[in-house]
Structure 1
């Protein structure tokens, strides 16, 4: 592992008390300091004029002067832990090779004096966090090659015009967790290389598109957790290179057809946790490159049949926790490349037959925690690529035998927390592809000889919490591939038939039943290595024998 040497220096203790530790390249410095906090580090012999990475720990304003750093002529990175109210002009004089300057967690800091960064042409990263800054033009003068400026958590109320023109090469600007309410026109003027801007967790109420005049290279814009209530027409038209736009956690109620004009390269759009009620049919029409669209936790109750028809490159769509009772035909007709669709917690009651037309590439579908009481025939016929389906937490009492027609690639099916009286069946036997089936929390009281025929290829099966009282002998003979079986919290009294037929079974859960004995000969001849049971219901000697059998088998497997 490649490391770099850092030195800890307290001016009050003197240069002979400097301590050294090694930090892995790209390791978080604050995390590393927390790890060594309280540990005794030995003083070291070091040539002061060769030190490149210095941590200065000061609790007195007397150290706020150029003399503090004068002995260190080759510093490249400074991490300043202090309680000073001001970073004084001249403090960093003669440190002309400085590349990084970090001032975290100083709640007393209010002012950066003009001249602090004079002649810092090699400084590329500046981090000042968790202070109480009031910024004035000229504060950042002297850093013409600065690439990254992090000012998060500083109680900043506004960005004065002209403040940023002194750092024309800036590529990444972090202003999150401040109190900024508005952006003045052309505030980012003269920053042609700005690629990433984080304005999250501020108090922005109005959007000023003129703030971004001549910012042509921006790829990432985070406006999440502000107070934006509406977007102006063509709000982002000046940001035609934008790749990621995060508007989560605002108060947006409506999206107009012009809201996202001018974003031909947009790949990611986050609109979670807003107040959206209406989405204009043409809102997303021009987002031809969009790959991820997030609309979770809004108040959308309906949208037109063509809202998503031009999102041909979309791969992930999250729409959970809205309020839509019905999914009609061809709603997702344009989602030809979508691979993951999340529609859980929507109060959804009805799926139209073949509602999924257009979802030709879908692999993961989440319909959990809705109010679906029945599946129409051929409910998923239009989604032949489906591999993972979550229907947990609905009101299903039975499964239409035609519901899974044409679904030949389904591997994971979750039907837990419904009202099913029996496992699903299928007339075409195409549920044999399922390897993981969750039926927990239903009302399956009996397993008959044919109960599991449709899912004979299952490897992991969860039947816990059903009130299951009877398993007909031979039921598990057809599911010989099972390796994990969960039967917890039922009314079973024995599992002999399970152990007889499941030769590949490795794990079984039987706690919360009426089981107080296991045939040890059957257990010895099985492949089980894990059993979850109620030990207090078994004789102590039997518990010990079961434990010995499992331990011995684990040792055999490890050899």
Structure 2
């Protein structure tokens, strides 16, 4: 690797290197992973290239027999991982001693649970840690021989952060005056929280005891233990069935700021006027709670900023459920319920809220004053409830609101009053997965949604639920032009004062249609079928010309009976305007019109114009006939969005062409039958048919 190339992660494939391979200096190198190789020794000078780095070095799953003294001296590492790295117990003990002079922020030792090495930990095994500059150590899967902390080297007591992960630890016994500030025990063998054993840790500020299947007891009322400097207590993901005691927390943990009892079977919350005044963060999510909702159980938590009681099986039956929480800024209570499935004055006492989550609460109604006092609220989540509507002024006082999540409810539309009452500072709005009505009488909302598409989160999931023919159509792709035409028609019928202006607009917009009607009135309309030159005029996209030639021109004009078709590329007169050719040569001289509807047809402006003229021609001429041929593969969603065409096909029979022999035979027979309808024969044509 050349100098100057920015590499942040180097990983060597397994079973290649027997020793450390020097790496050229890389300014941006963050990770060096030498896991699962055959490294057996580390000598002085092997790691000199790391002297100026502060990276993560991984030597796991190797078989190190020997580390030469001073080979790690002067090396600075962010993290060093040595899981299952040594050949045996003796090699590990001597290797750690010979790593003296190493500066490392975090050291990871232990084994993989399916990797049988380093089965035992004796008291002298980690003596080498005394000669390292070490901030934190993690011991993982140390084996069943390690069940007591006093079986560890005294060197561990000088490390500020100690983590035990997947161990058989049952007893904690640390000497006094240790330097441990942060202690974690994940997946250990405790039956109860050993508070009284931890009181010797005078500097302990953070305690995590988590993911322990046997941990069922947490005795707060015991007088045998107090952790004066503890700020964070995490007892999540255990099997605790316990009762909280706010006054006991204040006594035993006078500086406690964070308490996490989430993901436990049962927590009883009492009503007490005195609580830990320093507590700012309380997480009880997914633990079944007894007390909250029926009683004001948080009266003593006046400094609490964050409360998560999501999915705790509580029902809010009193308006004073959150009394006392005068400083609360974040309240998450998803997955619970409210009395009568409605939010009344529940949040009157938490006026400083900035984030509120009441999703999945089976709400059916939000009263006018529910959020009246939440002037500082920035984020509101009322998603996945059963709300059919809400009062237009429900959010009028939420001047600071930036995010409103309303997805997964049963809203049909938002009225003009709703839209005008939305907070002006709103930056993100989620209305996806509601039951929107895309009828033309909802035009105000449909137009507003289109104009404010940048406001919406998950806009692609905003879909029409009704009318049935528009179900699952994306609201943002809905073509509102049909609704606009209908609105104009109503305005014409009731607003006589603007007849002149509307007439000019209609003349400009429907110029070709008026031109067609003029041609009909000036001649050719009285022509009989006897005077028709063609049996059918074919309108299609030029991109489908190959199909038209093979399936229509060659088949119908050379078969028996023989039909004569009008094609623009062959039968239009040169030098005449296209519109004149379409009307005079196409429609006037043809008994019928065949419209070949394909994906290209739906995208073509000329094809859509010819189709509109054909429908007008059919309306004015009672003998005119319009035959639709829909090609296989036409996108039904796109077809639905062309409201006029879609409604016509729903009311009239049409032919579908599929590229299969039997289907093609049936298609051709039906098409010929449609063309024969009303056809008159000359003597020459009959004589020609008899000869063939």
Which interval holds the TM-score relative to the shorter structure? 0.5 to 0.7
Aligned to 2:463: 489
8 Å contact from structure 2 (residues 204, 227) kept in 1: yes
Residue in 1 aligned with 2:280? 315
1:401 corresponds to 2:359: no
- Asked if 1:176 corresponds to 2:112, the answer is no
Instruction: Map 1:362-401 onto structure 2 (within 5 A).
Output: 362-372=328-338, 373-375=340-342, 377-401=344-368
Q: Tell me the distance in 1 between the aligned counterparts of 2:600 and 2:478.
A: 5
Cα distance between partner residues in 2 of 1:342 and 1:73: 48
Q: CA deviation at 1:538?
A: 11
Residues in 1 aligned to 2:32 and 2:182: alpha-carbon distance in whole angstroms: 25
In 2, Cα distance between equivalents of 1:322 and 1:79: 39
Q: 1:112 aligns with which of 90, 106, 114?
A: 90
TM-score (norm 1): 0.68
Query: Measured at CA, do residues 19 and 225 of structure 1 come closer, stay the same or move farther in structure 2, by a change above 3 Å?
Result: closer
**What's the C-alpha RMSD, in Å, of the aligned pairs?**
4.7
Q: 1:216 to 1:94 in 2, by over 3 A?
A: closer
**Structure 1 counterpart of 2:122, from 160, 185, 203:** 160
Aligned equivalents of 1:460, 1:538: Cα separation in 2: 38
- SS of the equivalent of 2:150 reads coil
Correspondence 1:427-446 to 2 at 5 A: 429-446=396-413
**Bigger radius of gyration:** 2
**The 10-residue stretch of structure 1 (188-197 or 244-253) with the greater mean CA deviation from structure 2:** 188-197
For the 8 Å contact 1:415–1:439, the answer to whether it is kept is: yes
Partner of residue 27, structure 1? 30
Q: Which of 215, 238, 251 is matched with 1:252 structurally? A: 215
Task: Kindly indicate whether the alpha-carbon contact (under 8 Å) linking 2:99 and 2:128 is maintained by their aligned counterparts in 1.
Answer: no
Question: SS where residue 437 of structure 1 aligns?
Answer: strand
Residues 405-440 of structure 1 show CA distances to partners (whole Å, capped at 9, x for unaligned) of 311122222111111110345579424543322222
CA–CA separation in structure 2 for the residues paired with 1:414 and 1:83:
47
Structure 2: gaps (5+ residues): 485-598, 606-692
Deviation of 1:316 after TM superposition, in Å, equals 2.2
Structure 1 residue matching 2:110: 3-state secondary structure: coil
> Which whole-Å CA distance do the structure 1 matches of 2:600 and 2:361 have between them?
35
Structure 2 distance, partners of 1:312, 1:295, is 18
Q: Distance in 2 between matches of 1:516 and 1:481?
A: 14
Alignment partner of 1:92 is 2:68: yes
Task: Give the number of aligned pairs.
Answer: 459
Residues in 1 aligned to 2:600 and 2:239: alpha-carbon distance in whole angstroms: 53
2:412·2:435 contact (CA, 8 Å) conserved in 1? yes
Q: Which has the higher helix share?
A: 2
Equivalent in the alignment of 2:303: 337
Residues 343 and 363, structure 2, Cα contact 8 Å, conserved in 1 = no
Structure 1 residue 450, shift from structure 2 partner: 2.8
Whole-angstrom CA distance in 1 between matches of 2:198 and 2:389: 53
Query: Taking structure 1 as reference, are residues 122 and 198 closer, same or farther at Cα in structure 2, changes over 3 Å only?
Result: same
Task: Give deviations 1:20-39, integer Å, cap 9, x for gaps.
Answer: 43334671212xx69xxxxx
Provide the rounded CA distance (Å) in 2 between the counterparts of 1:468 and 1:163: 68
Alpha-carbon distance in structure 1 between the residues aligned to 2:49 and 2:355: 55
Deviation string for 1:461-509 (max 9, x for gaps)?
Answer: 3323222215645569999988414471233679xxxxxxxxxxxxxxx
Q: Which residue of 2 aligns with 1:150?
A: 108
SS at match of 1:491: strand
SS of equivalent residue, structure 1 residue 234:
helix
Secondary structure, aligned partner of 1:112: helix
Shift in Å, 1:191: 5.2
Contact 1:386 1:410 in 2 (8 A): yes
Query: Structure 1 residues 284 and 213 mapped into 2: Cα distance closer, same or farther (>3 Å)?
Result: same
Q: 1:462 aligns with which of 399, 419, 430?
A: 430
Q: Residues 381, 262 of structure 1: CA spacing in aligned structure 2 closer, same or farther, 3 A cutoff?
A: same
Of 75-84 and 171-180, deviating more is: 75-84
Which stretch of structure 1 is more off in the superposition, 413-422 or 18-27? Answer: 18-27
Q: Which runs of 5+ in 1 are unaligned?
A: 35-55, 126-146, 495-509, 523-535, 543-559
Q: What is the TM-score when the length of structure 2 is the normalising length? A: 0.56
